[in-house]
Structure 1
Amino acid sequence: MNNKNRLLGFVTLANGEYPFEFDKSTFKLKIFLKESGEVIDSFSRFLDLYTDEDEHEHRWVNTIEIKGQSVDGEYLLFGTLANPDDDHGFLTYDINWLFISEKDDFNYQEAVITGAEINYFYHPSSIYKIENTADSDKKYHTVTNTKISLSESASISCGSYTYNDITINISLKLYGKLYFLSKQPFDSFTALILHFNKKTSSSFTKDRIFSTMQFLRYITYRSNISINNVNLYNYDGEKRIYAGKFLVPPIETESHLKMSTRIINYPCLGEKTSTIFEKIDTKQIRLSHLCKSISETYNYSFARIIMILSRFERESENIYGNINPSKTSEEMKSLAVTILNDFITRQNITGKQKKKLKSIINGISNSGISESDRILNALKDCKPIMEKVISEFYKDSYDIEIEALSDRLNEVRNGIAHDKDNWSFEAVHLSDIKVIERLLYAMRLKEIGVDNSSISDALGRLFP
């Protein structure tokens, strides 16, 4: 029999069926091959794929799926990389995800996801209806009786979008329980529901669950989000049928005292939630610059700074496309070209020297949009949102400060990227980077149609 943290059964490999043990706490799959020669054969196949220098040099390790069945009759689909370890003669895989299905069918129509950050996104406490009875005959109204009951939880819409010709409807639902004669009389949680307009493959379902995890990372500005449970369902007409569950490896969860409020919540996003999912699915929102935890967001290494600036550059290109250079940039380019052309004429430069200078002039004339121009453009576009942010960090007017900020960060970006020695990182640069972190959210939320007041509220929650 399987216990809470362990699955036993048989998996199917290329050369037959073999018993396995899966540890849910470590997410390791150990396969018991019959003879030592089979272990050698398994590693030989791996080496044939990835060590042939002529045909497969610098090749990525493939992702693979391993199907199996537990001793309790559950059907299993493991996702891993094709690079097993040898654990004392046993073939061992680090598992990235796992489907556990009621049938030998890994197609689903709905995923119901729960976790701490989903509760923070929409607090489940509103599921309780509290009625107080007061003694109105006395001078001070004293509550004499409190009645607590569960209210009906309606589906809360987060919008919908279409991806790969499949419509994904996102909603929230609150669940609550009342216990009698218990130290903890109340228990409640929020579920985020992904409903597909038709049955979808395990790959599609998996990717949408991972998109949900990316969404939670985006709205918390950290990567250590936790998923407690993912239940999967299919439909027979209007009847919902339990079909299985989806598991991911356990992680060290967030422990910061303010974690429940450091989040962009549902009132800020409403049905625009689905638009963020769509941007994540289409790779328009990427999160490589995120820190692991809230405590790490207070540390700014050069590596993190360049990741934030790089993320801004890509995000600016996605949102604004090709922008016009600032008036100052155009004036300076024109001045530089004029000075160099005059120098060639006055000094009667000829031959290879003239050719080299003309090449420099062409480079200046055709130079692209600078980081400074992109920052300035975004700050001007988001002025109603960012004015309060700028006033918190600097003393001068908005227009003066954003000009100075954009120039400073252009120097920082070039200094770090090109390893220059003629610049220094100062305290004001840290304020500049913090502004860019907020600007990244302001310009994206504005682009998807969130109103300015809600964006300001979101920034206040995420960057208190």
Structure 2
Amino acid sequence: MNIDNILGFIIEDQKEIPFSYKDGILTLFHSNIASWKKEKHKCFLNWKNFNYDTWIGEKIFEGICQDDNKVRFCVSEDASTDNGYYSYSVKYVLKYSGMNHNQIRQIELTGKEINYFLEVGYFNKFLHNENSVSATIDFTGLHDLCSYQWKNVDIKASYYLSCELRHKSLTPLKEQARLLIEFSTPQDEIFTLHVCHHFLNLFQYLSYRRDIELFDAKIRGGIENTNDSTGYGILHEVNLSENFANEANKEQERIIKFEEIKKGISKLISAIAEERVYLEHIVPSLRARSTYKIDRIILNFAAFEREFHDIYGVDYGRSEKYITTKNEAIQLLKNEANKHSGDKKKYYKSFATTITKTDNSYEQRLEHALKDCREEMKISIANTYRNEIETKIADFPRRMNALRNDSVHANSNWQIEPININDFSVLEDLIYAIRLKNVGIDTRSIQKCLASLRGYNLPDALTINKK
């Protein structure tokens, strides 16, 4: 199904409105001169109805395409007009046939990082002569990837490999890994787009960069109240992913591979779907990894704090007596608040909130995380500091705590020392280590994951076996 340039009719209020869609813009036309003249000055009459205190909303246009397929456009209500011709910025397009838009049962995703993650491209046998081309591929058929539940829907992802044979090409056999994602119950395109974002975020996390390439989602479904699943379509979200990177070889190396993370991938994507994994600190591209600006530094500090609280919780390592006493103090303040009104009630509530948020210092949290993941971080730390390792890592929490306070509070005299560049690298690895350990990845695999992300070699005893 082609979604680059769509022509057809929007069906609205029993009217048939001609349209054109191209490059993310939907333009509506008029069927006659009278209709055009009526609309030409209409936008000026609507100015007094604009409400600048509300968010710009969305609306759905439904219609039929030039190839007789159905189409749904989700657009911003903030339309532009050119003498009565209205144009809308499109958020997503659903083009489909043989199914209802809310009966999506499967989606299929492809993209460059999916290939890297699954390490496609390895052959047991490859024979090429002037008469024929043949190949035996390492894995065929459908293989389990992960499963999780979101909004009471069971979601299962599998993968398979397809091949494209190119005649008279230097690369005659092109491989493509494909993810097949299935829902336990039929869903609409909004739910489907959310699931696409779960996997987009997963690959952003696994590669530690945002410029992930995902192609349009192929969808399959059936007619409501039947078991037929022959319906199909394309779900295209405008600007879902943009590929800015050029260093293909390094991209392929700098990503956590399926073999290292397969035992924990279901738990990881479940945490991503539940928005428990912090992603704001992920850099725009591979090239951006080599630069530490103030925004990246602050987001890394925030990422560790968010990940730590989700994994270890509040009051970790505290005695039962401490936790009990803290809860009693909070309850006493709440009880007192209920006895008063006005400012006094507000103050009691504020004190209770302050005690609720009381936790160990940032420095203590770093010390705890390092102690818990010291074995997982062992090779990363050695690779980063190289000499005087124990002295440097022992003072790492204090250095990071000082920088965190200076950066967050915008102290004018704060300075970054050369050792802090290595500290930031260790902090980023630690953020990954605590999450990967939490989802059940073993120590050796975590070491491989960190090595893949950072691009350094493991000692011979831990070297990944190449296929």
Q: Which amino acid aligns with 1:173?
A: Y
Q: Which amino acid aligns with 2:430?
A: L
Deviation at 1:241, TM superposition (A): 2.3
- Equivalent of 1:379, from 370, 387, 398? 370
- Identify which range, 432-441 or 4-13, moves more after superposition: 4-13
- Equivalent of 1:272, from 251, 264, 283? 264
- The residue aligned with 1:27 is 24
Separation in structure 2 between the aligned mates of residue 47 and residue 187 of structure 1, nearest angstrom:
58
Query: Contact (CA 8 Å) 2:315, 2:359: kept in 1 or not?
Result: no
Deviation at 1:41, TM superposition (A): 4.4
- The residue aligned with 2:452 is 461
- Distance 1:131-1:247 versus aligned 2 partners, 3 A rule: closer
- The residue aligned with 2:327 is none
- The residue aligned with 1:112 is 108
- Distance 1:147-1:385 versus aligned 2 partners, 3 A rule: same
- Identify which range, 39-48 or 176-185, moves more after superposition: 39-48
- Identify which range, 89-98 or 175-184, moves more after superposition: 175-184
- Identify which range, 60-69 or 102-111, moves more after superposition: 60-69
Q: Which amino acid aligns with 2:408?
A: A
- Identify which range, 232-241 or 261-270, moves more after superposition: 232-241
Q: Which amino acid aligns with 1:276?
A: L
- The residue aligned with 1:356 is none
- The residue aligned with 2:411 is 420
Name the SS of the counterpart of 1:117 in structure 2.
helix
Deviation at 1:179, TM superposition (A): 4.3
Q: How does 1:118-157 map to 2 (within 5 A)?
A: 118-126=114-122, 128-130=123-125, 148-151=134-137, 153-157=140-144
- Distance 1:46-1:439 versus aligned 2 partners, 3 A rule: farther
- Greater Cα radius of gyration, structure 1 or 2: 1
Separation in structure 2 between the aligned mates of residue 108 and residue 308 of structure 1, nearest angstrom:
38
Deviation at 1:458, TM superposition (A): 1.0
- Identify which range, 406-415 or 86-95, moves more after superposition: 86-95
User: Is 1:309 the counterpart of 2:301 in the alignment?
Assistant: yes
Deviation at 1:446, TM superposition (A): 0.6
- Identify which range, 4-13 or 379-388, moves more after superposition: 4-13
- Distance 1:146-1:91 versus aligned 2 partners, 3 A rule: closer
Q: Which amino acid aligns with 1:199?
A: P
- Equivalent of 2:57, from 52, 57, 62? 62
Cα offsets for 1:59-94 (capped at 9, x unmatched): 322233322221211111222322222356432222
Q: How does 1:139-288 map to 2 (within 5 A)?
A: 148-151=134-137, 153-234=140-221, 241-249=230-238, 251-257=242-248, 258-288=250-280
Name the SS of the counterpart of 1:193 in structure 2.
strand
- Identify which range, 228-237 or 306-315, moves more after superposition: 228-237
Deviation at 1:450, TM superposition (A): 0.9
Deviation at 1:149, TM superposition (A): 2.6
Separation in structure 1 between the aligned mates of residue 406 and residue 20 of structure 2, nearest angstrom:
52
Name the SS of the counterpart of 2:395 in structure 1.
helix
Query: Contact (CA 8 Å) 2:307, 2:431: kept in 1 or not?
Result: yes
Name the SS of the counterpart of 1:255 in structure 2.
coil
Cα offsets for 1:358-396 (capped at 9, x unmatched): xxxxx99x9532211221111111111112222223333
Deviation at 1:15, TM superposition (A): 8.8
Separation in structure 2 between the aligned mates of residue 201 and residue 295 of structure 1, nearest angstrom:
37
Separation in structure 2 between the aligned mates of residue 3 and residue 235 of structure 1, nearest angstrom:
21
Total equivalences in the alignment: 409
- Distance 1:238-1:419 versus aligned 2 partners, 3 A rule: same
Query: Contact (CA 8 Å) 1:69, 1:75: kept in 2 or not?
Result: yes
Deviation at 1:261, TM superposition (A): 1.4
C-alpha RMSD over aligned residues? 3.2
Q: How does 1:36-115 map to 2 (within 5 A)?
A: 37-38=38-39, 41=42, 48=49, 50-51=51-52, 57=53, 59-87=54-82, 89-103=84-98, 105-106=100-101, 107-115=103-111
Query: Contact (CA 8 Å) 1:268, 1:458: kept in 2 or not?
Result: yes
- Distance 1:384-1:45 versus aligned 2 partners, 3 A rule: farther
Identity of aligned residues (%): 24
Name the SS of the counterpart of 1:419 in structure 2.
coil
User: Is 1:405 the counterpart of 2:401 in the alignment?
Assistant: no
- Identify which range, 204-213 or 96-105, moves more after superposition: 96-105
Deviation at 1:147, TM superposition (A): 7.6
Name the SS of the counterpart of 1:411 in structure 2.
helix
Unaligned runs of 5+ in 2: 323-353, 456-467
